[in-house]
Amino acid sequence: MDTVIPDPNATVSGAKGAGLVRVVLGGGKGVFEISQATTGMDATPEAGDHFGFSRSTYDADGDGCTDLVVGAPYEDVAKDGTQLVDAGAIYVIHGMPTGIGAGSAIEGYTQTQLDATTTTEAYDWFGYAVKAGDTSGGAPYLAVGVPGENVTVDGKTFPDAGCVEYVQGTTKVPVSQKDPGVPGEVEAHDRFGYSLAGTNRYLAVGTPGEAIGGKTFAGGVTVFSHTLSGGLPAPLVGIDQDATGISGVAETGDSFGSSLSMASYRPSNQTYNSDALLAVGTPSEDIGATADAGGATVIRIQPSGAYTELAAIDADVTGVEGAPIAGDFFGQRVAIANTNTNVVTSTSTVRLAVGIPGNNTSSVKDVGAVQIFSPLDASVGSSDKILTRGSGLPGTATARDYTGIALTAGATNLYVGVPYSKASGSPKGALYVLPWTDIDGVTSTGTTTYLPGLGGLPDAGEAFGAIG
């Protein structure tokens, strides 16, 4: 299996923050580095582009090889003799039977190049989030978050309302809250498309700037089906903390939906994964009088749009290890995984990782942590586990490491990045890959550690391991 390791702050050809991605090829086949300086790339590294800020994989062309999508949301785009600052771009790097490497075909797109019905504009942040995959019918899809998009309704323009560019087959369409059936209202600074998650049946879009009633930046999430309706992915439901059945209350600055993750869910009355589990992070949630302690919610999504909250988690929940601390930002990142999609989903097959980048130890501030839950347990804190560097993760906990700010997960492994590591043994960042079975105590395979300068990786980095 190949491992994609981004460093969106890397210096490339002298341009600070231009960004790059390293692909560690499976089977010991080496490391391939991709940047805007790579042969075949129709782009030039520029300071602050942050190539690698977002990533996803899918088989874009149906050739059986995995293709990599990389976002550079702060790419400046030239148009009519002017530079559109931070307009953004994405790049599709095509895989080959031998993997991604020298000779891979590369396509680059601005928003207009991807969808000719749209206009590329400054500060759109096209590519801030990307999510790609195959639908249940086998069609490749690509969703690109454009949270800085200005949206016009009835002659009035709402800055930074946001949209998502959605591609499936020949369909290429911008989706926003002005479209029929999409929950919510277009408002300035909603940032629709700030975060994305999906399965083969569903796409979730985070809108952390959404105002709920008079509560600005309370946040919300919209769930779509990949089934097209009227040329758009069919909107199913909008969820926020004032929605029926969802714990908590929408409050100013909560930022519900800042982070999202999705996994397939097979109910006991089905022979396939008809539903999905949606994990939502609310990192700026206040717990009582404790500011920005954070929280996370796990919600079951059904094909009809019906939803059920399965777990509402924060450090004040009975049995959960730890206590609410101001500035913990519990839920800054969330990663949910179904470890076996071939059986009925149960508490034994679902794991949730929650990033707590502001977590302190007794003596060190902002070392960060990752907390593991079985979110389908009747008591969500009954088997939780906290991972920090030096306790469950390799390395030494160091002030301002912010462990938990970079997370992603698959059915087999949890990936924990520490891109802002201050530890002497990993000053350029680190990535840890932990088997879920190791975390559960079933196996002792061991954690795989990736560091610049080891295992064929170039000894350079600024934010190595900025995954998620």
Each residue's pLDDT tens digit, 281-331: 999 999 999 999 999 999 999 999 999 999 999 999 999 999 999 999 999
User: What is the average pLDDT across 127-141?
Assistant: 98
Q: What is the pLDDT of residues 188-198, one digit of tens each?
A: 999 999 999 99
% of the chain surpassing 90 pLDDT: 96
Instruction: Return the structure tokens found at 239.
Output: 């969820």
| Residue type for position 386 | I
pLDDT of residue 433: 98
pLDDT of residue 234: 98
Angle 417-19-356 from CA coordinates, rounded to 5°: 25
pLDDT of residue 363: 87
Instruction: Return the structure tokens found at 303.
Output: 């094909």
Question: Per mean pLDDT, which range of 22-31, 76-85, 365-374, 430-439 is the poorest?
Answer: 22-31
DSSP string for 264-313: EE--TT-SS--EEEEEEEETT--BTTBTT-BEEEEEEE-TTS-EEEEEEE
- The whole-model pTM stands at 0.97
Q: DSSP assignment, residue 380?
A: T
What is the C-alpha separation between 440 and 248, in angstroms, rounded?
A: 30
pLDDT at 26 over 90: no
pLDDT of residue 48: 98
pLDDT of residue 364: 92
% of the chain surpassing 70 pLDDT: 100
pLDDT of residue 231: 94
What is the C-alpha separation between 430 and 450, in angstroms, rounded?
A: 6
User: What is the average pLDDT across 69-98?
Assistant: 96
Tell me the Ramachandran region of residue 94: left when phi exceeds 0, alpha when psi lies from -120 to 50, beta otherwise.
Answer: beta
Q: What is the pLDDT of residues 163-203, one digit of tens each?
A: 999 999 999 999 999 999 999 999 999 999 999 999 999 99
More confident residue, 219 or 1: 219
Whether residue 192 contacts residue 176, with contact meaning beta carbons closer than 8 Å, is answered with yes
User: What is the average pLDDT across 431-459?
Assistant: 96
Q: Where are the domains of the chain?
A: 128-257
pLDDT at 372 over 90: yes
User: What is the average pLDDT across 457-468?
Assistant: 97
Helix, strand and coil content of the chain, in percent to the nearest 5, comes to: 0, 40, 55
User: What is the average pLDDT across 378-397?
Assistant: 94
pLDDT of residue 29: 80
DSSP string for 4-52: EEEETT--BTTBTT--EEEEEEGGGTEEEEEETTSTT-S----TT--TT
pLDDT at 341 over 90: yes
pLDDT of residue 85: 98
pLDDT of residue 249: 96
Following CA atoms 255, 258, 259, 260 in sequence, which dihedral angle do they give, to the nearest 10 degrees?
90
Residue 387: which pLDDT band, with cuts at 50, 70 and 90?
Answer: very high
User: What is the average pLDDT across 5-29?
Assistant: 95
pLDDT at 88 over 90: yes
Name residue 202's beta-bridge partners. Answer: 225
pLDDT at 134 over 90: yes
Contacts of 324 (CB under 8 A, 6+ apart): 287, 288, 290, 293, 314, 315, 316
Residue 162: which pLDDT band, with cuts at 50, 70 and 90?
Answer: very high
pLDDT of residue 362: 84
Contacts of 77 (CB under 8 A, 6+ apart): 83, 84, 87, 88, 89, 110, 120
pLDDT at 28 over 90: no
Instruction: Return the structure tokens found at 67.
Output: 């293709």
pLDDT of residue 102: 87
Residue 252: which pLDDT band, with cuts at 50, 70 and 90?
Answer: very high
Residue 269: which pLDDT band, with cuts at 50, 70 and 90?
Answer: very high
pLDDT at 98 over 90: no
Whether residue 48 contacts residue 74, with contact meaning beta carbons closer than 8 Å, is answered with yes
pLDDT of residue 357: 98
pLDDT of residue 27: 78
Contacts of 222 (CB under 8 A, 6+ apart): 177, 182, 183, 184, 192, 204, 205, 207, 235, 237, 238, 239
Mean pLDDT of the chain: 97
pLDDT of residue 1: 79
